[in-house]
Amino acid sequence: MSNLAEQFRQLSTLLHRTRGDWQHTPFACRELPWPELAPALMALNEAQLDTLDEDDTAALAFFAPLRPETVASHAYRLPELDRADDYATPRWSNGIPGRKWAQIKDFAANITAEHAILEWCAGKGHLGRLLAQQGAPSVTSLEWNADLCRQGAEVAEQFKLDHHFVCADALSADAARLFRPEQQALALHACGELHLRFLRHAAAAGTRRLALSPCCYHLIDGDHYRPLSAAGRQQDLHLDRQSLRLPLQQQVTGGERVRRLRHIELTWRLAFDELQQHLTGTTRYLPLPSFPKQLLSGDFADFAHWACEQKSLPVPNSIDGEHWLQRAEQRRLLVKRIELVRHRYRYLLELWLLLDRALFLEEQGYRVNLGTFTAESNTPRRYLLQASRN
Ligand SMILES: C[S@@+](CC[C@H](N)C(=O)[O-])C[C@H]1O[C@@H](n2cnc3c(N)ncnc32)[C@H](O)[C@@H]1O
């Protein structure tokens, strides 16, 4: 059994055993699901909950006596891979935000540009362009947004680079034909189904080298994740979309404004839920989709109007905002206490998903390497899966 397979086995056992900790929908809970944790969690006020949740090390220390196995599993850290020597910006990088540029440079630092490159879900092809400039034999960037392709192609033309765009849907059957054996296929921050296809197509074509940094694990076909590897299928956690979202709740701390907006959003969502339960006479939680943050700059009554329309509920003539916001207060604290526990599984669930992908590639005859390619301050989506075959 490979080292990764052994890690996966241990992690699967833990995640099966602790399912009751991470699989709850906090918004749907009316009481703490773990009576044994109540004394410790109820002793924390809101400010303490917020501070602890933002500091993973402190939160793990808090949970060490309560959930020793979960905390011990965090000892398995992925190695740091190569990083760029510098982040100096070339002329064409104008307009790429600093953190994005650092991610691209760091990703590129892990690529030896000796084969033709296929860049999957490329955006404007910044990564492909950098590699073309560093001497990659040829670069093909797949992207479905025609405007991004046009902009990328213009820069390639301007610098006379061997860098071409294929403007097509990565989920179409034709996209599989872009993969070749003598090739290096790259995907930087390709969402769920897009990177699952990337791995399947590359393995089927016998593509010599792969490098993938996955994101948005929940954006998949179907309601549940179907593990890629045989090991994953044997130890299937039956992850639904809400569990698949958990690793993405790892935020780079966004400062006071972001914190304030998060607070308002949480309170308003819960206040609307109180209102809708009253209107429908049910006690069932009704989730709202994500929405533009400017909706939070009006008042709660306007937000509740919008939410009623979203959910095809009759809009009440008048909405007593104070009343519903007041009712949300206690639920907000409950949600934060439950999240404090769930968030301690973000890393472990992401690791499980990464290892499933890694084991799939091992099963397909690849040598696999897994680590972090960039600093956490650049992005929480900083895992890189590298694979090669002879
Ligand atoms: C998160 S961005 C990553 C872009 C680039 N790799 C980077 O890191 O800067 C994902 C890209 O995938 C593209 N995309 C989404 N769905 C796609 C599809 N079905 N086919 C091709 N491209 C797609 C989006 O337009 C977007 O440019």
Nearest CA to ligand 1 atom 8: 188
Contact 248, 189 (CB under 8 A): no
* 64 pLDDT above the threshold of 70: yes
Residue 253: predicted pLDDT: 60
Residue 251: predicted pLDDT: 66
Residue 166: predicted pLDDT: 98
The residue to mutate among 100, 144, 150, 196, having the most atoms of ligand 1 within 8 angstroms of its beta carbon, is 144
The residue to mutate among 104, 120, 130, 143, having the most atoms of ligand 1 within 8 angstroms of its beta carbon, is 143
Residue range 122-127: mean pLDDT, rounded: 97
Contact 337, 49 (CB under 8 A): yes
Q: Which residue pairs, CB below 8 angstroms and at least 24 apart, start in 285-291?
A: 285/25, 285/27, 285/28, 286/311, 287/27
In the chain, the percentage of residues whose pLDDT exceeds 90 is 92
225-259: per-residue pLDDT in tens? 999 999 999 999 999 999 999 999 876 566 788 88
Residue range 93-114: mean pLDDT, rounded: 93
* 302 pLDDT above the threshold of 70: yes
How many angstroms separate the CA atoms of 131 and 137, rounded?
Answer: 9
Three-state DSSP at 369 gives strand
Cβ–ligand 1 distance for 285 under 6 Å, the answer no
Q: What is the mean pLDDT of the chain?
A: 95
Higher pLDDT, 59 or 330: 59
Residue 233: predicted pLDDT: 98
Residue 250: predicted pLDDT: 74
Residue range 36-51: mean pLDDT, rounded: 97
* 275 pLDDT above the threshold of 80: yes
Give the chain's domains with CATH numbers.
21-75+254-344 (no CATH), 91-247+349-388 (3.40.50.150)
Task: Give, in degrees to the nearest 5, the angle at Cα 130 between 128 and 136.
Answer: 70
Dihedral, 19, 353, 360, 227 alpha carbons, nearest 10: 50
Q: Which two tokens mark 164? A: 């071409």
127-177: per-residue pLDDT in tens? 999 999 999 999 999 999 999 999 999 999 999 999 999 999 999 999 999
Three-state DSSP at 55 gives coil
Tally Cβ neighbours within 10 Å of residue 299.
11
With bands split at pLDDT 50, 70 and 90, how would you rate the model's confidence at 2? confident
Is residue 108 packed enough to be buried (19+ CB in 10 Å), middle (13-18) or exposed (0-12)? buried
What residues have CB less than 8 Å from 86, skipping those under 6 apart?
A: 105
Place of tokens 């993405």: 248
How many angstroms separate the CA atoms of 339 and 275, rounded?
Answer: 23
Residue 1: predicted pLDDT: 76
